[in-house]
Amino acid sequence: MKKYVKPQAYAAETKDHRYAGTFEVLVPLPDRVKPHRIAQQFPTQQAAEGWLHSDEGQDAIAELFASHKPEPAKAGSAAKGGASKSAKR
């Protein structure tokens, strides 16, 4: 059985048509469906990957992971307030 490995940040072509032909850095975060987009555009994929591996890029990604702390699930939140709406109908 493989151990869980945290998904790595990656460079991808920008999907926003206003910035067509540029690249951006995307960072997958736990408990988030879509990856977080770093608000910076790069002219080439090599430039985006270079920033990604630079000290500035590594610091930005570390800050993003530090600021993203998933909220603990509330136990019994469905039981709060008595019966559910569907049971009252």
Residue 31 identity (one-letter amino acid): D
Rounded CA-CA distance 56/78 in Å is 43
Amino acid identity at 2: K
Domain boundaries, the chain: 1-68
Model pTM greater than 0.75?
no
Strand residues in the chain grouped as ranges (E): 10-13, 23-27, 36-37
Alpha helical stretches, state H, 1-89: 45-52, 55-67, 85-88
pLDDT (tens, 9 = 90+) of the chain, 89 residues, equals: 677 677 789 999 999 899 999 999 999 988 888 999 988 899 999 999 999 999 999 999 989 888 877 666 565 555 455 555 555 55
